[in-house]
Each structure stands twice: as structure tokens, then as C-alpha cells.
Structure 1
Amino acid sequence: MVHDCQHNEAVGVVCFSVHLVGGSTPREGRIVVTLGTTEGSVCDDSWDNDDARVVCRMLGYSGTAEAVSSAHFGEGSGQIWMDDVNCRGSETSLAKCSFAGFGRHGCSHSEDAGVICH
């Protein structure tokens, strides 16, 4: 086998998914991001309906979406994965939106973001 790669050019895959908790239906709740095997929250700084639309699309809902903030569906615990999320609304994954970087935040769980998918 011939190649021109160095070990520092190796490629890896990180699993990223979302689900909702704390809502009264499966279409609403606090966003829980799973990165690898660790679950965490999304901070509500800059959180809006475009961001919520991306989450709802990831979950298979095609209607409108409403962003909710201030831990409307309860506070998470542990890791906060995302802050300053800024989606255009057309992305296929929250990970493709602009944000501060995984694990970089200036938040507490009282600022956990949620969605209502219509």
C-alpha cells in the first residue's frame, strides 16, 4: 500500500445526535445533545426559531418550530455542549450551524434551550 499521509492527518468520526426531554409530547422539550457517549445541553444565548427548526428537522418533523429558553422544560445537569448557536434554518444538523465550539460556553443550566416542533 502506498500513501502520502502522516498520522496527524488521520480522519475520525464523532457521533452527534439530539433528543428532547421534559415536554408533555414527543414534539417538545429541552434539547439534549449526545456527542460521542456524553449527553449535554444547548445554551439559549442567541437561540431562535431558525435554530429550533434545525433541531425539529433532525428529529423528523417538517412543520414550523418554536424556540424556548430559560430552561422552560427544566434544567439539565452536567455538560453544556453548545452556546451561541446561529443557524440559518436550512442546515441538516445543529452541528453544521455556527456556534462557540463543543464544550465552550458561558452559561448555566438555567439557560438550557428547548423547542416545540409543530
Structure 2
Amino acid sequence: YILFSQVIMQIKLTGGKDVREGNIEVIISNLRFQVCDDNWDNDDASVVCKMLGFGNKGTATHKSFFKSEKIRIIFNNVACTGTEIDITLCPAVVGIDTRNCSNNLAGVKCSITGQVQSENVKIETRYNFENAVCGRRPIDNNLNLIRGSNPILHITYG
């Protein structure tokens, strides 16, 4: 199959005391997902903080540290080095099979200097799939995410 459209992925943090901390929520085509905490570490958390514009340092949280609704898992065994600009560029098991997760959610605490002006910060990653062959990193039966699809990052405030 060939996909000729863009897929928008949003990342936000939920359940924290402010926008710089919380469990990770991933929104793809209006479907909500979360990240499993298996092998989740500070390098992974730092990439998420970087994606959200909260600097390069993040502290990983485990076992659904922040209170938030539990929904489907999309990323498991994330293995970022900390140098990536987008969590989708990190090695990971991607899909909605949660049998290996026990529904323990990964979260982050981002360290940043200065003030955050907005209470609603989200990141959008747009994937241009023109001429891309689907199937390498399945998200669900109808949508596939391709590693190396050159994401274009859009940060939206408000």
C-alpha cells in the first residue's frame, strides 16, 4: 500500500501539576494512546521534554506516577539515546498490543529555566508519507508509521 497524506501526531503530558510534567499521551488521527514504562529512562524522558520545548533534561517517572486515565498503549520498550528530536526516531516496540506492559504508564518531569506562558502546550509531528511504503512500524490496522519518514515538528501553544 502507498499512503499519500500526512499523519499528525500530538504529544502532551497529563495528570501533572503543570504542563512540564505528567504521563505521556500520544494523539494520532484523534485516537489517544499512552507510553508503557518498560525500560523507560531519563534519556527517553529528555527526548519528550525536548519535543515539547521544555529543554533537554527530563526525569523519567514510572508506574503511572501521575494520575491520568488509562488508555491504549502505543509505544513500549522505548530506547532513546537522548540525542533524538522526536520519540518516533527512537527504537521502540510500536503498536497497540499491551500484553507485555501491565498498563504502567511512562511519564516525565521536564526541567526548564524561565516561565511557561501557556497551560496548554502540545507538539505536532507531521509525517509526509508520499511514496512511503507502509508496514514497518504499525500503529493500527489502518495507519502505519514509517521510521525515517522525515517528520516536520510543529509546536502549538494555546
Same fold (TM over 0.5): yes
Q: Which moved more, 1:60-69 or 1:10-19?
A: 10-19
Aligned residue number for residue 70 of structure 1: 63
Residue 107 of structure 1 aligns to a residue in which SS? coil
Worse-superposed segment, 34-43 or 11-20: 11-20
Which residue does 1:115 correspond to in 2?
A: 108
Partner amino acid for 1:86?
Answer: A
Gaps of 5+ in 1: 1-7
Question: Structure 1 residues 92, 104: closer, same or farther in 2, change over 3 A?
Answer: farther
Distance 1:10 1:22, change over 3 A: closer
Please give the alpha-carbon distance, in whole angstroms, between the structure 2 residues aligned to 1:67 and 1:9: 37
Larger Rg: 1
| TM-score, reference length from structure 2 | 0.64
- The letter of the residue matching 1:46 is N
Cα shift at 1:78:
2.5
Residue 53 of structure 1: SS of its match in structure 2?
helix
Does 2:88 match 1:81? no
- Relative to structure 1, the CA distance from residue 43 to residue 10 in structure 2 (aligned partners, 3 Å threshold; closer, same or farther) is closer
- State the TM-score, normalizing by the size of structure 1: 0.84
C-alpha spacing 1:113/1:11, structure 2 compared with 1 (3 Å): same
Structure 2 unaligned blocks of 5 or more: 112-158
**Structure (1/2) with the larger helix percentage:** 1
Please report how far the alpha carbon of residue 54 of structure 1 lies from its aligned counterpart in structure 2 after TM superposition.
0.6
The equivalent of 1:4 in structure 2 is none
Distance 2:69 2:35 in 1: 9
Distance 1:60 1:28 in 2: 12
Shift of 1:17: 1.8
Separation of aligned partners in 2, 1:89 and 1:80: 22
Of 96-105 and 19-28, the range deviating more from structure 2: 96-105
- Alpha carbons 1:31, 1:114 under 8 Å: kept: yes
Bigger strand share: 2
Q: Which amino acid aligns with 2:62?
A: S
Match of 1:39 in 2: 32
Shift of 1:63: 4.2
Any conservation in 1 of the 2:47–2:86 contact (CA below 8 Å)?
yes
In 1, Cα distance between the equivalents of 2:91 and 2:69?
22
Secondary structure at 1:51's aligned position in 2? helix
